[in-house]
Amino acid sequence: QLQLVESGGGLVQPGGSLTLSCAVSGFSLDLYAIGWFRQAPGTPREGVSCISSSVDNRTYYTDSAKGRFTISRDNAKNTVYLRMNSLKSEDTAVYYCAAPRMTGYVCYGQHHAYEFYYWGQGTQVTVSS
């Protein structure tokens, strides 16, 4: 059974950094793209960053994440990371990682929640002084 578990969220001051982890089990991480999403209260779930399978490791960042966030994978540890720097109050949200139903998904543009099938439970990120 495919499972994803996020960790690493917390309270951080504006300008600070956090690294989120997405530990996966039940499937070969190297064959799957993984997307990071976030959802603030009263807003739809939005894609933040995506990394393709190890075939090309292509990455995508939404405009708000470019230059501040870095996505990476460690297949040996079955984990995908999202390093977040220069955090702002508007980054406050629950962050989720997700995998599509099938292999072959390529992160070449904005990714959407409806394209992903397996989800973690989320981890809260709060940016506040």
pLDDT tens by residue, 42-78: 999 999 999 999 888 899 999 999 999 999 999 999 9
Separation between Cα atoms, residue 117 and residue 93, nearest integer Å: 20
Q: So what's the pLDDT on residue 56?
A: 87
Distances (CA, A) of 63 to 3, 26, 75, 76, 97: 28, 32, 27, 30, 18
Q: Residue 38 and residue 25: Cα distance in Å, rounded?
A: 21
**Alpha carbons 112 and 120: distance in angstroms, whole number:** 15
Amino acid at 47: G
What is the pLDDT, as a whole number, of residue 104? 86
**Which segments of the chain have a pLDDT < 70?**
none
